[in-house]
Amino acid sequence: MHTAAALRAGELEPGTAVAQPLLSLSGVSKSFPGVRALHDVSLSLYPGQVTALIGENGAGKSTLVKILTGIYRPDEGEIRVSGDAVRLQGAEHAFRHGITAIHQETVLFDDLSVAENVYLGHAPRTRIGLIDWRAMRRQAADVLKRMGAGHIDADTRLRDLGIANKHLVAVARAMSIDARIVIMDEPTAALSAKEIGELFDLVAFLKGEGKAILFISHKFDEIYRIADRFTVFRDGEMVGEGMVADTSQNDIVRMMVGRAVDHIFPERQPNIGGPLLTVDGLSHPTEFDRVSFELRQGEILGFYGLVGAGRSEVMQAIAGMTGTSAGSITLAGHRIAPRTAADSIDAGIVYVPEERGRQGVVIGMPIFKNVSLPSLARTSKSGVLRLAEEFRLARTFTERLDLRASSLSQDVGTLSGGNQQKVVIAKWLATEPKLIILDEPTKGIDIGSKAAVHAFMAELVEQGLSVIMVSSELPEILGMSDRVVVMREGRVAATFDNAGLDAETLVRAAAGIVA
Amino acid sequence: MSAVLRHREMLLVAAIALMVGLIAMRFPAFARPGNLATVFNDTSILVILALGQMVVILTRSIDLSMASNLALTGMLVALTNANYPEVPIPLIIVEAMTIGAVLGAFNGVLVWKLGIPAIVVTLGTLTIFRGLTFVVAGGTWVNADRMSADFIGLQRGMLLGLPVLSWFAVAAIAFFFLLLTRTPLGRSLYAIGVNPSAAVYTGIDVGRTKFIAFVLSGAIAGLCGYLWVSRYVIAATEVANGYELTIIAACVIGGISIAGGIGSVGGALLGALFLGIISSALPVIGVSPFWQMAISGTAILAAVILNARGERKQGRIILKKAEAA
């Protein structure tokens, strides 16, 4: 272990660093069609140190992990492992270079034993080239014992272990090839408090072994507990780094959110009426607890929170997709208890889900059929579809959204992501709802399409509709909402009026930092 | 999609035309309208069955029990006719479709309420229905002696120049065409096949829609139970044994995607006709039945490869988007 003073000296004079970084990235960029995921990013990981990677959703953390683990190739830039430049050719190749990742949900093989998981791909062999089962079990048990996880039997099927123990197996796998760089991607997201404690003991052990650890977390208490250094990403760029001990939480929050205005939000003159939707004490056995809020006519209500805070689950309950254990939903003065999506659509609530591909459009169907899908009861007559009516409906709503398509008979699968999103929104508008719930409406779409979606949202409320917008993007929340509900760990943490609201307040509320 | 599909169907039309042309070079009589009408009539039952199967396949399911359902229902209506010859034929048809629908509903409930994969459910009922056929018949069979003249005669009668059996196929084609292109149910069948998750959000009850698909395929199998028994004038445990594979083959050759959501009435019709022509023409030109099987098998693989190529382009786009998200 190094002293903080030595580290600081190393930081001040990179040329005489106490230790050469085990892994360093410089000038790494990566783009996807229409999206710049990483731009000129640099990062160094030192032996025996934990570096926390911090950033909002969409800041580029996942892309970075995928580059480090060989899943994506960077467009530009250099990766050095122990000073040698490497071009990672795939996951296996990264693994051979001693880079290993432990994900939120472990990516191991449930139906194989612990020993098999640890040694998959590099199992000890007998003289004639068969797997040496006995040696494999013994060595796996040794590794587990060395890292203080002797309670895990190497013969157990992985399926029978809890997530915390699966993480241990993933670490054992890293140890078994003498991995020097361990990436932990939100490893605590699914763990109990006790398990988190055990995981941190393990991190301390790995530090002692001289591993370089990249720790990705949204939770500030964890970062301050185990990280030595931090790096902050914002919009695909590295915007700050330093020693955790020298930096306050508020400084880090400021780095996360402070940004140049890259996007103009539509001017609105909110015309807010009486209450439309009242949710009172809505609870679910596991996902959310006593959630109460009110949505008024003509209002955009933002829902902010960390991933997993329970926002989507609350919305799915309102949309009839998830059951509830307690609480009530009142829409326009009437108690409703939707049991199916059809119930809530009939009541005038539509839910536009987050995953456009999986839950949104029906690829292979033309645009007009996608638009008319939830409105078939209206566009058909005595059980017979009227295609002309469907076309008319689709034209009305796609034109309002400025959809770019050669014809309404075009397969939605051939449209860009942004235009697909417009089809999804058109589809829901066509049901003529009172309330529209947009879950991450602009996630993963390009700036131009984002602006169109925002302009359209403004138009919706102008026409008297009410909108609930679940978003993890602060500029969007601040730029579009009239009021903001912040959720944390399944509960409503705070409700704010947007007047004079700043990003830091929201992030603090979402992360549970007491100002 | 429709452009690709149309293209695919045109390919099948060309293959069939080529086949008929080749056969006609040696046996000109084969291509005469009268003979082609006979081939169509001989293929009618397969056409109807393939349409019923298609509805199930569209929903990402499969009905392996259709041929057994056909045998069981065929046996039951034959026994009805043997014991109560006075029951009018329209009522027999209603009986066949009702029994078939009930058997199909049994499949459907297991898929819907218990969430068991359709292939497992219908593999089980394939055996159960076949076994029940043996049980209800007491191990015997019903042959021409015990069938009434009406029972055997109806579908052999002629109407507007076509045998009544062919008219059943025409009616089924019209029914399924309208169902799939002109009703909300038809649209739902496609939607849940392509993207069940999106369908749920749209308010479509996926389980219930699958259930209806099984009821339909069951009713169709039941109808064909009567048609088969009266056409071949025998109801026995072995009737249509293994025929479920021919039905599925017709669907696959017709471009209906086993992965669900893709397929058309025209495709199912052409797929069934393709197999029908092979089985009626090859004996004429002296090709052994084993060659027939090899040709059908090759056609199935060719169809699957062509369809896979057609769908791959879309897959790439989705993958790119998944990465960008």
Query: Quick one: pLDDT band at residue B317, thresholds 50, 70, 90?
Result: very low
Nearest Cα of chain A lies from the Cα of B205 at a distance, in angstroms, of: 8
| Interchain CB contact of A385 with B (< 8 Å) | yes
**CATH architecture of the region A1-98+180-259:** 3-Layer(aba) Sandwich (3.40)
3-state secondary structure A130-160: CECHHHHHHHHHHHHHHCCCCCCCCCCEHHH
Asked if residues A215 and A226 have their Cβ atoms less than 8 Å apart, the reply is yes
Asked if residues A431 and A374 have their Cβ atoms less than 8 Å apart, the reply is yes
List B residues 207-266 in contact with A (Cβ-Cβ < 8 A).
261-262
Cβ pair B324:A321 closer than 8 A: no
pLDDT of residue B225: 95
Query: Quick one: pLDDT band at residue A5, thresholds 50, 70, 90?
Result: very low
Nearest Cα of chain A lies from the Cα of B267 at a distance, in angstroms, of: 17
Average pLDDT over residues A380-390: 85
Task: Give whole-number Cα distances, B285 to A63, A220, B28, B277, in Å.
Answer: 63, 81, 11, 12
Nearest Cα of chain A lies from the Cα of B189 at a distance, in angstroms, of: 11
Query: Quick one: pLDDT band at residue A34, thresholds 50, 70, 90?
Result: low
pLDDT of residue A2: 44
Q: How far apart are CA B58 and CA B51, in angstroms?
A: 11
Nearest Cα of chain B lies from the Cα of A45 at a distance, in angstroms, of: 26
Domains in chain A: boundaries: 1-98+180-259, 106-178, 274-348+435-515, 362-432
Amino acid at A221: D
pLDDT of residue A124: 86
Chain A hits for B322, Cβ within 8 Å: 357
Chain A hits for B209, Cβ within 8 Å: none
DSSP state of A359: I
Chain A hits for B317, Cβ within 8 Å: 413-414
3-state secondary structure of A274: coil
pLDDT of residue B314: 43
| Interchain CB contact of B195 with A (< 8 Å) | yes
List B residues 262-291 in contact with A (Cβ-Cβ < 8 A).
262
3-state secondary structure A363-381: CCCEHHHHHHHHHHHHHEE
Cβ pair A357:B202 closer than 8 A: no
Is the confidence at residue A388, as pLDDT, over 80? yes
Nearest Cα of chain A lies from the Cα of B197 at a distance, in angstroms, of: 5
Query: Quick one: pLDDT band at residue B104, thresholds 50, 70, 90?
Result: very high
Average pLDDT over residues B159-177: 92
Question: Which residue would you say has higher pLDDT here, A269 or B276?
Answer: B276
Q: How many residues does chain A have?
A: 515
Question: Which residue would you say has higher pLDDT here, A221 or A141?
Answer: A141
Residue B171: Cβ within 10 Å count: 11
Cα atoms found within 13 Å of the Cα of residue A179, Cβ hemisphere only: 28
Is the confidence at residue A263, as pLDDT, over 80? no
Q: What is the pairing mode between strands A326-331 and A380-381?
A: unpaired
Full set of structural domains in chain B with CATH: 2-324 (1.10.3470)
Query: Residue B317 is nearest to which of A321, A359, A413, comparing CB atoms?
Result: A413
Asked if residues B146 and B84 have their Cβ atoms less than 8 Å apart, the reply is no
Query: Quick one: pLDDT band at residue B320, thresholds 50, 70, 90?
Result: very low
CA nearest neighbour of B23 among B295, B221, B260: B295
Query: Residue A364 is nearest to which of B194, B322, B324, comparing CB atoms?
Result: B194
Question: Would you state the structure tokens that stand for residue A416, as one six-digit string?
Answer: 């860009």
Query: Quick one: pLDDT band at residue B270, thresholds 50, 70, 90?
Result: very high
Cα end-to-end span (Å), chain B: 24
Asked if residues A203 and A213 have their Cβ atoms less than 8 Å apart, the reply is yes
Query: Quick one: pLDDT band at residue A304, thresholds 50, 70, 90?
Result: very high
Top residue of A359, A361, A381, A412 to mutate, by most chain B CBs within 10 Å, is: A359
Cβ pair A417:B1 closer than 8 A: no
Q: How far apart are CA A477 and CA A473, in angstroms?
A: 6
Element spanning A326, H or E: strand A326-331
Percent of chain A with pLDDT strictly greater than 90:
14
Query: Quick one: pLDDT band at residue B315, thresholds 50, 70, 90?
Result: very low
Compute the CA torsion angle A250, A247, A228, A181 (nearest 10 deg): 60
Asked if residues B49 and B73 have their Cβ atoms less than 8 Å apart, the reply is no
| Interchain CB contact of B323 with A (< 8 Å) | yes
- Residues B227-237 pLDDT 10s: 999 989 888 88
Question: Which residue would you say has higher pLDDT here, B36 or B55?
Answer: B55
Chain B hits for A317, Cβ within 8 Å: none
Question: Which residue would you say has higher pLDDT here, B282 or B117?
Answer: B117
Asked if residues B129 and B74 have their Cβ atoms less than 8 Å apart, the reply is no
Chain B hits for A383, Cβ within 8 Å: 183-184
| Interchain CB contact of B83 with A (< 8 Å) | no
Cβ pair B184:A427 closer than 8 A: no
Cβ pair B325:A443 closer than 8 A: yes
| Interchain CB contact of A360 with B (< 8 Å) | yes
ipTM of the complex: 0.72
pLDDT of residue A259: 53
Q: How far apart are CA A138 and CA A154, in angstroms?
A: 8
* Mean pLDDT, chain A, whole residue set: 83
Task: Give whole-number Cα distances, A331 to A79, A280, A295, A429, B211, in Å.
Answer: 55, 11, 10, 18, 33
Query: Quick one: pLDDT band at residue A176, thresholds 50, 70, 90?
Result: confident
Q: How far apart are CA A424 and CA A438, in angstroms?
A: 10
Percent composition of chain A: helix, strand, coil (DSSP 3-state, to 5): 35, 25, 35
Cβ pair B195:A377 closer than 8 A: no
Question: Which residue would you say has higher pLDDT here, A359 or A478?
Answer: A478
- Residues A468-513 pLDDT 10s: 999 888 888 888 999 999 998 889 999 999 888 888 888 888 888 7
| Interchain CB contact of A34 with B (< 8 Å) | yes
| Interchain CB contact of A351 with B (< 8 Å) | yes
Question: Which residue would you say has higher pLDDT here, B56 or B137?
Answer: B56
Is the confidence at residue B304, as pLDDT, over 80? no
Is the confidence at residue A406, as pLDDT, over 70? yes
Average pLDDT over residues B162-175: 93
pLDDT of residue B311: 55
* Mean pLDDT, chain B, whole residue set: 86
Question: Would you state the structure tokens that stand for residue B324, as one six-digit string?
Answer: 């960008």
Average pLDDT over residues B169-184: 93
| Interchain CB contact of B26 with A (< 8 Å) | no
Q: How far apart are CA A229 and CA B168, in angstroms?
A: 77
Amino acid at A316: Q
Is the confidence at residue A233, as pLDDT, over 70? yes
- Residues A111-121 pLDDT 10s: 899 999 888 87
- Residues B59-82 pLDDT 10s: 999 999 999 999 999 999 999 998
Average pLDDT over residues A11-15: 42
Residues with Cβ within 8 Å of A13's Cβ and at least 6 positions away in sequence, in order, are none
Residue in this structure with the two tokens 């060719």, named with its chain if needed: B302
Lowest mean pLDDT among A149-153, A179-183, A192-196: A192-196
Top residue of B5, B314, B321 to mutate, by most chain A CBs within 10 Å, is: B321
Given this structure, which CATH class describes domain A274-348+435-515?
A: alpha beta
Residues with Cβ within 8 Å of A404's Cβ and at least 6 positions away in sequence, in order, are A415, A416, A419
- Asked if the domains A1-98+180-259 and A274-348+435-515 are classified in one and the same CATH topology, the answer is yes
pLDDT of residue A1: 40
Count A/B contacts: CB-CB distance under 8 Å: 101
Burial pattern A320-334, b for ≥16 Cβ within 10 A else e, equals bbeebeebebebeee
Nearest Cα of chain B lies from the Cα of A105 at a distance, in angstroms, of: 18
Chain B hits for A36, Cβ within 8 Å: none
